[in-house]
Structure 1
Amino acid sequence: MSISATLVKELREKTSAGMMDCKKALEATAGDFEAAVEWLRVKGLSSAAKKADRVAAEGTVFAQTSGDTAVILEINSETDFVARNEGFKGLVLDVAHHMLNAVNAAGDILEQAFHKNPTKKVGDMLKEAIATIGENLVIRRFEKYVATANTVVHTYIHGEGKIGVMIEVAASKPEATNNPALKTFAQDVALHIAAMNPMAISSAEIPAEVVAKEKEILTAKNLESGKKPEMIEKIVEGQIRKFLAENCLVDQPFVKNPDLKISDLAKEVGKQVGADVSVKRFARFELGAGIEKKSNDFAAEVAAQMKGH
C-alpha cells in the first residue's frame, strides 16, 4: 500500500525515529498509526539492548534542590556530543523529577513506577530514550537528602555537569535554618568540596582499613628511602596526621580563604546565626569517576580491517 509523506512525518514527530524507519513501520503495520508506534518501540527496545555493552563514561552530573529535598545523580552516555542533546537533557530532568517526587527513590530505580507516568517503569523510559538517542545510557548513581527542622540541604554543580555536590548542614537551633548566613555557608562548603574532594567529614569517618593501608605504604616508602627502622613509626605517625588533615573536610583549609579551616568557618557562621553549625553529610559525584574507558588503537584497528583485502 502507499504510505503518505504526511503520515510518515507525523510518526517521526511522535517517536523521533528516523524517516526510513517510520516508513518501514507504517508499511509493516498496513498504515495503522498506533501499531506503527508500537512497532518502532519494539524495534527500538531491541536496538537498545544491543547497545547495553558499550562503555558509557560521558554524560552529566545533575543536582537539584526543591524545598526541603535535594537530589544528585549521574547519568552516563557514550559520547560528550549526546550529553548536549536536548533529548538527553530531558531524560536527566525526568529522572531528577522522579527522584524528588517519588515516595521511595531508593533501591532499584529502574523497577520503580515512573512518577510522571506511573503506567511505565523508569527502566522503560530509559530504554525508549536509548532507542531514540541511539547510544547506551546508564543511570549510574543517585542520592536523595530530605532536610529536617534543624538542617538545610543544598546542591552545587561545577564545570557544566562535570562535578556535583549535595550537602546537608545542621544548626543546633531550628530558627537558624532560615538565616541567609547558613545558606551561604552551605554554598561555600559545597564549592569547597567540589574543589578539594575530601574523603570524609572527620577522621572518625575514614575507614580503619584505609588508614592501615596508608600506614603500610608510608612505612615501605620510608624504609625504601633509607630512614632508620627505629624512627619509622614516629615518622609515619606524623605523615598519617598530615594525610588525615588533607582528606578530612573539617581540617582542610577553606578554598576561598586558606587562613581558615572549614571547622573555623563553621564556628564563625555559628556566631552569626546564634547556633552551633556543622556539616551533617555530603555527596560528591565526579563524572565518569571509576569507569574504565576503552582506548582504541586506531592503527591496529585499520590493520585488522585490512586483513584479507
Structure 2
Amino acid sequence: MAEITASLVKELRDKTGAGMMDCKKALAETNGDLEGAVDWLRKKGLAAAAKKSGRVAAEGLVAVATSGTAGAVVEVNAETDFVARNDKFQGFAAKAAEIALTTGDVEGLKAAAYPGTSHTVQDELTSLIATIGENMNLRRAAKLSVSAGVVTSYIHTAVAPGLGKIGVLVALESTGDAAKLTELGKQIAMHVAAARPEALDIGDVDTSALEREKNVLADQARASGKPESIIEKMVEGRLRKYYEEVCLLEQTYVIDGETKIRKVVEAAAKDVGAPVALTGFVRFALGEGIEKAQSDFAAEVAAAAGTQA
C-alpha cells in the first residue's frame, strides 16, 4: 500500500476542500492515487468544492474581531460580490474572525473546531461551498496582542458590523485609560486603511524592497551627471521620503495632514495618563494580490457561435 503522507493529504484538501479525515480515507481507499481520491470524494458527496476549486475567488469579505488586548482579522474569499451579502457567508466570516483570536494563523484556524459542530472550520467552509454553490477560500488570518493596552479595529466599506472590504488592526501598548486608547487606536486604524503603510518603522522595511529602492534612486541620481559623493547624499535624502511613504510611524497623519504618526502617539501619553507605544498593525484589503481572470466577451461569443455551427 502506498504511503499516505501529510503533504499528499494537504494537496487533496486544497484541491477538493474536503475535511482532513475524509481526505486520508479517500487516499487510503485509492492507494494514494490523487485523482482517484478526488473522484472517490465526489462520489461520496464530500467534494462539492472539487468542480469549483479552479475558479478564481477574489471577492468575499474581510472580517475583524477584538477582545481587550487581542484582535484578529481574516479574509474569506468567494467568486462573486453577491455571496458577500449572503447571511450564511457573513456569519461564517464573523465566526472565523472570533476563532482566530485564539488560533492566530490561517492553518491553525482551518484546523480549529467550529462551534456547535463536531467538525473543523475548513469542514464548515466546505459545507458552505456545497450549500451556496461557489468556490470559497479561507485565504489568510492574522492576530495582534499586547500585554497591557488595547487592540482596536476598523472596517472600511462595512457591509455589516466587523465585515467589509478593508480590515485593519492596531495594537497600542499602554497602562493608560483604555477608552481613550481605543479612540486613538480607531483613528490610527482609519489612517492605516487610507495610507496603506508597508512597515511599522524604518527597521521593519523589507530588506529586498529597500535595496531595490536604493538601486532605483541611485540610477536616477546618476542620470543627473553628479559625482558619486553627491549621489550618495541624494539617495539618502530620497530614502527619507521613501520611509515617510511606507513606514507607519514616519507617515503624516491623514486626519490633520501635518503631524507624524510617531508624534501623534507620543502626544497621546498626556491624554491617556501613561506612555503609549504603537507596537503593530495589520491591514487586509479584499482580493489584494489575487490575479483575476480577464474574460474576452467577444471571443466567448465567437467561440460559442463556432461550437454551434
Alignment TM-score > 0.5, same fold: yes
AA aligned opposite 2:63: F
CA distance in 1, matches of 2:245, 2:213: 13
Question: Could you say what secondary structure the match of 2:192 adopts?
Answer: helix
How far does the alpha carbon of each residue in 1:191-210 deviate from its partner, in whole angstroms, 9 at most, with x for none?
Answer: 11111011111101112222
How far does the alpha carbon of each residue in 1:16-64 deviate from its partner, in whole angstroms, 9 at most, with x for none?
Answer: xxxxxxxxxxxxxxxxxxxxxxxxx976533311111111000111111
Question: Could you say which residue in structure 1 is the equivalent of 2:96?
Answer: 95
Using the TM superposition, give the Cα deviation of residue 118 of structure 1 relative to its aligned residue in structure 2, in angstroms. 5.4
Question: Could you say which residue in structure 2 is the equivalent of 1:82?
Answer: 83
Using the TM superposition, give the Cα deviation of residue 290 of structure 1 relative to its aligned residue in structure 2, in angstroms. 0.4
CA distance in 1, matches of 2:298, 2:304: 10
The alignment's TM-score, normalised by the length of structure 1, stands at 0.78
Question: Could you say what secondary structure the match of 2:57 adopts?
Answer: coil
Runs of 5+ unmatched residues, structure 2: 1-41, 159-163
AA aligned opposite 2:248: L
Question: Could you say which residue in structure 2 is the equivalent of 1:158?
Answer: 156
How far does the alpha carbon of each residue in 1:184-231 deviate from its partner, in whole angstroms, 9 at most, with x for none?
Answer: 11111111111101111110111222211101112223344x443544
Question: Could you say what secondary structure the match of 1:108 adopts?
Answer: helix
CA distance in 2, matches of 1:117, 1:206: 42
Question: Could you say what secondary structure the match of 2:263 adopts?
Answer: helix
Question: Could you say which residue in structure 1 is the equivalent of 2:206?
Answer: 207
Using the TM superposition, give the Cα deviation of residue 110 of structure 1 relative to its aligned residue in structure 2, in angstroms. 6.2
Question: Could you say what secondary structure the match of 1:62 adopts?
Answer: strand
Q: CA RMSD for the aligned pairs? A: 2.0
Using the TM superposition, give the Cα deviation of residue 162 of structure 1 relative to its aligned residue in structure 2, in angstroms. 1.4
How far does the alpha carbon of each residue in 1:104-144 deviate from its partner, in whole angstroms, 9 at most, with x for none?
Answer: 44362465242414521222111100000110010011112
Question: Could you say which residue in structure 1 is the equivalent of 2:285?
Answer: 286
Question: Could you say which residue in structure 1 is the equivalent of 2:34?
Answer: none
The alignment's TM-score, normalised by the length of structure 2, stands at 0.78
8 Å contact kept, 2:64–2:94: no
8 Å contact kept, 1:109–1:123: no
Using the TM superposition, give the Cα deviation of residue 180 of structure 1 relative to its aligned residue in structure 2, in angstroms. 2.5
8 Å contact kept, 2:62–2:284: yes
Q: Does 1:195 align with 2:194?
A: yes
CA distance in 1, matches of 2:288, 2:110: 25
CA distance in 2, matches of 1:110, 1:184: 29
Question: Could you say which residue in structure 2 is the equivalent of 1:270?
Answer: 269
Question: Could you say what secondary structure the match of 1:259 adopts?
Answer: coil
> Structure 2 matches for 1:119-268, cutoff 5 A?
119-148=118-147, 150-160=148-158, 161-171=164-174, 174=175, 176=176, 178-224=177-223, 226-230=224-228, 231-268=230-267
Question: Could you say which residue in structure 1 is the equivalent of 2:72?
Answer: 71
Question: Could you say what secondary structure the match of 2:293 adopts?
Answer: coil
Question: Could you say which residue in structure 1 is the equivalent of 2:14?
Answer: none
Question: Could you say what secondary structure the match of 2:258 adopts?
Answer: strand
1:303–1:234 CA distance, 2 compared to 1 (3 A) = same
8 Å contact kept, 2:106–2:138: no
Runs of 5+ unmatched residues, structure 1: 1-40
Higher CA-based Rg: 1
Between the aligned residues of both structures, percent identity stands at 41
Question: Could you say what secondary structure the match of 2:257 adopts?
Answer: strand
8 Å contact kept, 1:57–1:287: yes
8 Å contact kept, 2:151–2:169: yes
1:179–1:116 CA distance, 2 compared to 1 (3 A) = closer
CA distance in 2, matches of 1:268, 1:113: 41
How far does the alpha carbon of each residue in 1:253-285 deviate from its partner, in whole angstroms, 9 at most, with x for none?
Answer: 111112211111112211122322111111100
1:113–1:119 CA distance, 2 compared to 1 (3 A) = farther
AA aligned opposite 2:209: V
Using the TM superposition, give the Cα deviation of residue 234 of structure 1 relative to its aligned residue in structure 2, in angstroms. 2.2
CA distance in 2, matches of 1:79, 1:43: 27
Q: Does 1:47 align with 2:40?
A: no
Using the TM superposition, give the Cα deviation of residue 236 of structure 1 relative to its aligned residue in structure 2, in angstroms. 1.6
CA distance in 2, matches of 1:181, 1:107: 31
8 Å contact kept, 1:44–1:131: no
Question: Could you say what secondary structure the match of 2:76 adopts?
Answer: strand
1:67–1:181 CA distance, 2 compared to 1 (3 A) = closer
Aligned residue pairs: how many?
A: 261
